[in-house]
Chains A and B, each alone.
Chain A
Amino acid sequence: MTTITRADRRRRVTNAVMTSFTALCTLFAICILLIIFAYIAWQGIGSVNLRFLLDSPRPVGEGGGIGNAIVGSLVLLLLASAFGMPLGIAVGVFLSEFGKGKFATLVRFVVDTLTGIPSIVTGVFVYAIIVLPLKHFSALAGGVALGLIMIPIVGRTTEEMIKLVPQSLREGALALGAPQWRVTMGIVIPAAASGIATGAMLAVARVSGETAPLLFTALGSRFFNYRLDQPIASLTVQIYNYAISPYDDWHAQAWAATLVLMTLILMINIVVRFFTRKKF
């Protein structure tokens, strides 16, 4: 017959307390997430309408919208993708296909560490190398800043995805006489394409929420602008400016713009999740 000693009882109580503590932690985090989403939806939904999405900003009390900011964000994202994605993918290919030896380890380490560099520092760097020589804030500078942030994200996911391509595929192509670059470009990258696209989309989602590197590169603008050498508006900077303003009217617009931004980011995340679930 087993007897339960006092020490045993204490162990059981500790076990019960700690296991429920971990569950509580999880519940707490999810509650926070739901509260944030609920607030954004509740506060933002009232001000979102077609005019808000198409109009440009107006003085306090006269309405106005975020049309120019949406266009500006898209321009910035396009610029960033044009700069950051090819570079990121190339780095990923280098790390996975030629990634042995000290140099590759160093690159991998620097890329990983680059992910953790605060985005505001990237902003200062781009200010120093682009804004100062050109003597004014520009969409180009903003795009480069965002692109720099994309490189490590795209690079590392590309590397991981290419590593998943079976070695037999490469060997088969090489055995048929294809040179290595044809194997990589024609066989390996297409085989990993959906994974690379996933990484690229996640990078776009991450970068579309960046504000700090745009504050003194793209600066922001209250008008529609399509010139790359001029300051350009972006959703995030507009949200920031409206949120710290003293006007209730602009606060409401900040919430509405937040709702638009979050919808975009959530959509990307859910689409990516849907595709990766099918794949792996």
Chain B
Amino acid sequence: MVKNPLISPHPNPLPKREGNDKPRPLSRWRIALSPTGNAGDTFFRGLMFAAALLVLIIVGGMIVALTADSLLSIRQFGFRFLTSQQWNPVKSEFGALPFIYGTVVSSAIALLISVPLSLGIAIFLVEQAPYYVARPITFLVELLAAIPSVVYGVWGIFVLAPFLRVHVEPPLARWFGWLPLFQGSITGIGLLTGGIILAIMVTPIITAVVRDVLAAVPDSQREAALALGATKWETTRVVLVNGAPGIAGAVMLGLGRALGETMAVTMVIGNRPEISASLFAPSYTIASAIANEFTEATQDIYLSALVELGLILFLVTFVVNGIARLLVWNVTRRSGATA
């Protein structure tokens, strides 16, 4: 670019030297630093590139730092860490199974409730409601996502848990008490409450993504179904089938959020590292174990075990989110290409 004499940074020809016919070539630095040169560009591009690289370094650094600090526990317990039920800081015996169980079951309850709920909301917003109704409702549902976790926790302790204790859990125990899931003492604090509060928190996230996915399904699909005489609901089913991978992605995204949610769950789940078949029983999740015990961990091995919990959580959520993103990208990108 700079070689072109017309846009050379120095329009005046350079003085010729003796024994040298050609003008002396400008040094690279002088070209680069001239007002119209490309030093600014190089610098700017480098700066932006460095920022992007830094993000990758941060994620890499997370893996390295978490692994390094949990090495002590990994060496001592090995694979047993994932299968042992013993979590006993006094005896320096650490097994993560109760936390893994609590995390998985509370997230499962959350998805069981929130997936149909958010599908319903998203279908209502995209397929049924007119624009002037959908717009404010979208905002309200998004507000549900803006409420901080700790606020859900406060509401969970003082409102939801007493409500479940009085109005929900006794009937469940009466009608479904023959299932081991609904036996045991009723306190309002436990897996079920944790799962329900998670469901409320995850719903706006799943809804938002499903809404985008459904909106990305081309209208020709709807028109074709309607032209064949399908009812509104049958048309919606066609749309759902079209958006299925994206919806799966949305569910995964919700799962990732549910697995790592900390404060609200910590406040209502009871925080007892035991595995019990009953949903009424107190339990513990990986995230709440870290939140509760991190500042209490005085021995190195205790701290290391907690960091290993963090590492597990990081790896699991990273994979779950990665899959989710790929699924959602595929759907929305495909529609972007045809639009």
User: Which A residues have a C-beta under 8 Å from some C-beta of B?
Assistant: 11-12, 14-15, 18-19, 21-26, 28-30, 32-33, 35-36, 39-40, 43, 87, 90-91, 93-95, 97-98, 103-104, 106-107, 109-121, 123-125, 127-129, 132, 148, 151-152, 155, 177, 179-182, 184-185, 205-206, 208-212, 215-216, 219, 236, 239-240, 243-244, 251, 254-255, 258, 261-262, 265-266, 269, 273
Given contacts A33-B141, A239-B151, 15 further A-B contacts (CB under 8 A): A19-B128, A19-B233, A26-B141, A39-B158, A87-B54, A98-B49, A104-B52, A106-B56, A110-B55, A120-B260, A181-B43, A184-B44, A210-B148, A258-B151, A269-B143
* Bound-state Cα–Cα, A11 to B150, Å: 45
Contact bitstring B151-180, A, C-beta under 8 A = 1, else 0 = 111110111000000000000000000000
Given the contacts A90-B47, A109-B322, A262 and B147 also touching, CB distance less than 8 Å = yes
Given the contacts A29-B141, A251-B158, A128 and B149 also touching, CB distance less than 8 Å = no
Q: Which listed residue (A155, A261, A273) contacts B151, Cβ 8 A?
A: A261
Contacts of B260 on A, CB cut-off 8 Å?
116-121
Give the segment of B10-18, B23-31, B251-259, B275-283 that binds chain A: B251-259
Given the contacts A24-B120, A39-B155, A114 and B59 also touching, CB distance less than 8 Å = yes
Query: A180 and B263: CB pair below 8 A?
Result: no
Main secondary structure of the interface of B (DSSP, over half): helix
* Bound-state Cα–Cα, A184 to B48, Å: 11
Is B241 located at the chain interface by the 8 A CB criterion? no
Given the contacts A14-B233, A26-B121, A118 and B41 also touching, CB distance less than 8 Å = no
- In the complex formed, the residue of A with least CB distance to B264 is A211
Q: Which listed residue (B51, B55, B143) contacts A114, Cβ 8 A?
A: B55
Contacts of A255 on B, CB cut-off 8 Å?
154, 158
Q: Number of B interface residues, CB 8 Å?
A: 91
User: Which B residues have a C-beta under 8 Å from some C-beta of A?
Assistant: 36-38, 40-41, 43-45, 47-49, 51-52, 54-56, 58-59, 61-62, 65-66, 68-69, 116-121, 123-125, 127-129, 137, 139-144, 146-155, 157-159, 200, 203-204, 207, 231-234, 236, 253, 256-257, 259-263, 267, 287, 290-291, 294-295, 306-307, 310, 313-314, 317-318, 320-322, 324-325
Contacts of B36 on A, CB cut-off 8 Å?
177, 179
In the complex, how many angstroms separate the beta carbon of A164 from the nearest chain B beta carbon?
14
Query: B307 and A29: CB pair below 8 A?
Result: no
